[in-house]
Amino acid sequence: MTNRLSAQIEFLKRADRLKSVDRANTLLDQSRPENAAEHSWQLALWALTMEPLAGPEVQIDRVIQMLLLHDLVEVVVGDHPIHLETDWDAVARAERAAAEALFGLLPADQAKTFLNLWQEFEADTTPDAKFAKYLDRCQPMFQVLCAPKPNPDHLTVVRNNLDGGRAAYLRTEFPKAYTLARALLQGDRPAETAFSARLPFLSETDKLKSVNRASRLLQGGRFENSAEHSWHIMLYAWVLSEYAEPGVTIDRVLKMLLLHDIVEIDAGDHPIHGQVDHAAQEAEEQAAAKRLFGLLPTGENRAFMSLWQEFEAADSADARFAKAIDRFQTPIGNLETGGGSWVDFDVTLTQVEQRVGTPIQRGAPKLWAWLRPQLTSFFATKADA
């Protein structure tokens, strides 16, 4: 298991670099460029939220997986804005090579699965890939159109995209999205549809990209935000799903992790090793969940709230594995960066064992058996320094 798991961890550490790939889009508040990792998280959220608008032949779990992977090649080739003159054939060749190299870090069986799914998305011929592409065309446009003060240059990009660019085909393929985009571009107020009813929630979740955590990116520099963290631990859960206990349904785990930190938009992030009033934190998060999921139509409101509450309770096999993965990612980063948040909070091995080890042992004991010796070695070295 050790060699296989080590290869999987190396892939997941390489994926961290997607958080440093900036896109042409900005956050809704125009404060900075959106990065490709948080874009991938929000696209997965778009998929779950817009599931009722997908055709009966679409498997939304596969769509979510495609969207988690679709931009990973940008770790190697970068982002290519659609409005700039580009040799797209050259980009396609570079992206195929990048996909083979990145997924090739994984064990052979997983490398094949991930590469095939990425290629399916790129080919855009299956129902799942088509719906994933619709959403990938929509999110950047509505990121512009739903901003309080849209950037005029970005509005021009949206207009050109609808007139004859990549989004023009949405007029027949996904008309609810196309019609609303046109109306917003023209300053109209169209009647509410199943599509438009979901936009307030999706727009509000953009704020998660501005909630910083205590952990830093693996390459140092800035703190990780909760949106890109959510994307990364979804990838962790998927790659490491074989270490879950019997009875775990990984698709439900991915949905829990997709939603688990949304409450931090209102309640903020509370570092596990910080001084926290847990009763007050729980009350804040419950109120946040009620407000945020309340922005959704009734069906999604109930479904999302139920998944979030199940994760928080951590009583089911799915939730226990999700909690384990949520605790597992940060130690990997701290070991990679010389201690990270453990140094910032003066954390001891005993504290890591209690606060991190207990939920990992409960939900993924094989992962804890792999991680604990590395923690022991790190803290022993630190004590000797």
pLDDT tens-digit series, residues 26-66? 999 999 999 999 999 999 999 999 999 999 999 999 999 99
pLDDT at 273 over 80: no
CA distance 36 to 25: 10
**144-181 tens-digit pLDDT:** 999 999 999 999 999 999 999 999 999 999 999 999 99
Task: Tell me: do 246 and 199 sit in the same domain.
Answer: no
Q: CA 116: distance to chain centroid? A: 20
- Residue 218 domain flag: no
Task: Tell me: do 169 and 20 sit in the same domain.
Answer: yes
- Residue 210 domain flag: no
| CATH number of the domain encompassing residue 262 | 1.10.3210.10
Residue scoring higher pLDDT (231 or 2) = 231
**Final residue of a domain: which of 159, 175, 203?**
203
Identify the residue whose tokens are 């055709």: 55
- Range list of β-strands (E), the chain: 22-26, 33-35, 212-216, 223-225
Task: Tell me: do 198 and 234 sit in the same domain.
Answer: no
Task: Tell me: do 153 and 286 sit in the same domain.
Answer: no
Task: Tell me: do 15 and 113 sit in the same domain.
Answer: yes
- Specify the DSSP class assigned to residue 192: P
- If you average pLDDT over every residue of the chain, what do you get? 94
CA distance 199 to 184: 12
Question: Which pLDDT score, from 0 to 100, does residue 384 have?
Answer: 67
**Final residue of a domain: which of 203, 235, 269?**
203
**125-150 tens-digit pLDDT:** 999 999 999 999 999 999 999 999 99
% of residues, the chain, pLDDT over 70: 97
Dmax (CA) of the chain: 68
Question: Which pLDDT score, from 0 to 100, does residue 274 have?
Answer: 59
Task: Tell me: do 199 and 227 sit in the same domain.
Answer: no
Task: Tell me: do 177 and 101 sit in the same domain.
Answer: yes
Indicate the Cα dihedral angle 104, 108, 109, 110, nearest 10°. Answer: -30
Task: Tell me: do 21 and 150 sit in the same domain.
Answer: yes
- Residue 99 domain flag: yes
Residue scoring higher pLDDT (340 or 330) = 330
- Residue 243 domain flag: yes
Both structure tokens of 26: 């900005």
- Residue 38 domain flag: yes
Question: Which pLDDT score, from 0 to 100, does residue 81 have?
Answer: 82
Instruction: Report the run of H or E that residue 190 belongs to, with start and end.
Output: none
Q: What is the pTM of this model?
A: 0.96
Q: Measured between alpha carbons, how far is residue 205 from residues 202, 224, 291 in Å?
A: 5, 16, 12
pLDDT at 250 over 90: yes
Q: Measured between alpha carbons, how far is residue 306 from residues 199, 255, 289 in Å?
A: 21, 11, 10
Query: How many domains does one find in the chain?
Result: 2
Provide the 3-class DSSP secondary structure of residue 84: coil
- Residue 333 domain flag: yes
* Cβ atoms of 202 and 46 closer than 8 Å: yes
Task: Tell me: do 191 and 239 sit in the same domain.
Answer: no
Residue 340's pLDDT band, with cuts at 50, 70 and 90, is confident
Sequence-ordered list of residues with C-beta below 8 angstroms from that of 295, at least 6 positions apart, any chain: 200, 201, 204
- Residue 214 domain flag: no
Task: Tell me: do 135 and 263 sit in the same domain.
Answer: no
| Residue 56 main-chain phi, psi, to 5 deg | -65, -20
CA distance 54 to 132: 10
Task: Tell me: do 184 and 36 sit in the same domain.
Answer: yes
Task: Tell me: do 244 and 198 sit in the same domain.
Answer: no
- Residue 380 domain flag: no
Q: Could you list the residue range(s) of the whole structural domain that residue 183 is in?
A: 2-203
